[in-house]
Structure 1
Amino acid sequence: MTTARDLLVVVIDTRSGTSVEPGDLSLALAGAELIDLIDAGAADLGGDRVVVQAPGQAAEPAPEPATGDPLLRQAASSLVRQEPHEPVEDWLWRRGRDLVAAYLAELGTTGSAASRWRSRKPSLSIDPSALADSPARRHANDRWAAHEPVLAALAAAAGVAAADGGDPGDGDPGNGPGGHDELADLGDDRVVTVLAAVNEAVVELAGVRQRRAVEAAAFDNIWRAV
């Protein structure tokens, strides 16, 4: 099971008291995919840009991720291979578009749940009974219960409360679960860069939602005054 699938399982299984925004979760899923691609050697970072070949291996083709996961293979095939390479945040926005619906369909929760995500409802709680019990599901929940730093940070970005019931964080990868102290133990600055980009994109998206809400309220007030 990939980190993105683990993240979606966590979102579904911790739905009580938690409401996630589809856009936030899509950005976090895209970040999870990129982290797995980096770990598999299918992608690398050059500063804040996603590169396909690791330094010194430009003449060699990037390896395919060692996984049977179709969505992760799709993510690998969509990597920009030409210079200038794509910034991490641009990858998140491009790859994240409607990514929640794609993962719900792969998990078998098609029907009304997936269609409601595609219709871009502001938030959605999915009944955990929609997800079959399996070793992969238990593995995801074990990672969550163990406060695995990467999964915790991605879940916090998506708006999922911490496994201990605490605050999911404030959009800063240094605060809340999976903060700088925990992530420093990973020994990979590339992962920290991706997580920071996810949080920045989520904050930007929240700003867009807030502006649209203000504009809609102002428009309503104008019509009331007519």
Structure 2
Amino acid sequence: MTTPQDLLIIAMDVTSSRDIGQGDLSLALAGAELVDLIEAGALTLDDDRIVPGAAWTLDDALLSEAVSSLVRQEPYESVEDWLWRRGRDLFAAYRAAVEAQTPVAAGRRRWNPLRGGPAERADSPARRRAEDRWSKGDPVLVGLAAAVGIEHPDGEGAAPADEAVGTVLDAVHDAETELEAVRQRRSIENAAFDNIWRAP
């Protein structure tokens, strides 16, 4: 299992402070991929620029896909740009991977982050691993979850020891804030448009 998969499992199981959309999760999943790739030595950060290492294949298919999609020409890609580019529709890919490893318990509905709370899921090694990281307050998992509105019982916890990982987490939080601002702006614009047509 990987950090993106662990994050999605936690999103399935833990109540959030707000509705979580696919866009929110996709951005956070893209950040989680970067964290795993940093820890695997597949890339480094130069300030906020993603500097790829040698091209190689990881055990996980989605992380291998992420490695192959890294921009390998200078000035390289910023973390922010990666989140928006790689994050597009990433939720669907990880949901399929997670549901294959953590099936919904018999007779229960499938989980949909846009329609209500979590479904009851069958126990699995993948789910136990994610819950173990969560219960121990893993700073990466807790930080990524906080970005999408999932609060850990013990608060935000300690900052990650790796400065590059901290840069990624900060970028995820900033991207989530930007996404919410875009939503609010569109909501205001749509409301104003509706009012024009409803005016006598």
Structure 2 length as normaliser, TM-score?
A: 0.87
Question: After superposition, what is the alpha-carbon deviation per residue over 1:127-165, rounded to whole angstroms, capped at 9, x for unaligned?
Answer: 333x4321111010011111111100000001112235x
Residue in structure 2 matched with residue 163 of structure 1 by the alignment? 153
One-letter amino acid of the counterpart of residue 172, structure 2 = V
Assess if the C-alpha contact under 8 Å between 2:16 and 2:150 holds in 1. no
Residue in structure 2 matched with residue 89 of structure 1 by the alignment? 80
Closer, same or farther in 2 for the Cα pair 1:17/1:159, shift >3 Å? closer
Assess if the C-alpha contact under 8 Å between 2:8 and 2:98 holds in 1. no
For residue 201 of structure 1, the aligned residue among 156, 161, 175 is 175
- What SS is found at the alignment partner of 2:66? helix
Q: Aligned residue pairs: how many?
A: 193
- What SS is found at the alignment partner of 1:51? strand
- Residue 177 in 1 paired to residue 156 in 2? yes
Assess if the C-alpha contact under 8 Å between 1:20 and 1:124 holds in 2. no
- Residue 128 in 1 paired to residue 119 in 2? yes
- Residue 78 in 1 paired to residue 42 in 2? no
Q: What percent identity do the matched residue pairs reach? A: 55
Assess if the C-alpha contact under 8 Å between 2:50 and 2:77 holds in 1. yes
Structure 1 length as normaliser, TM-score?
A: 0.78
Residue in structure 1 matched with residue 9 of structure 2 by the alignment? 9
Runs of 4+ in 1 over 4 A off after TM superposition: none
Alpha-carbon distance in 2 for matches of 1:16, 1:160: 4
Unpaired segments of 5 or more residues in structure 2? 104-108
Q: Give the deviation of 1:187 after TM superposition.
A: 2.9
Assess if the C-alpha contact under 8 Å between 1:42 and 1:64 holds in 2. no
Assess if the C-alpha contact under 8 Å between 2:55 and 2:67 holds in 1. no
Unpaired segments of 5 or more residues in structure 1? 54-60, 118-122, 165-175
Question: After superposition, what is the alpha-carbon deviation per residue over 1:11-36, rounded to whole angstroms, capped at 9, x for unaligned?
Answer: 00113765312211111110000000
One-letter amino acid of the counterpart of residue 150, structure 2 = V
Alpha-carbon distance in 2 for matches of 1:17, 1:133: 25
Residue in structure 2 matched with residue 223 of structure 1 by the alignment? 197
Alpha-carbon distance in 2 for matches of 1:33, 1:147: 19
Closer, same or farther in 2 for the Cα pair 1:16/1:79, shift >3 Å? closer
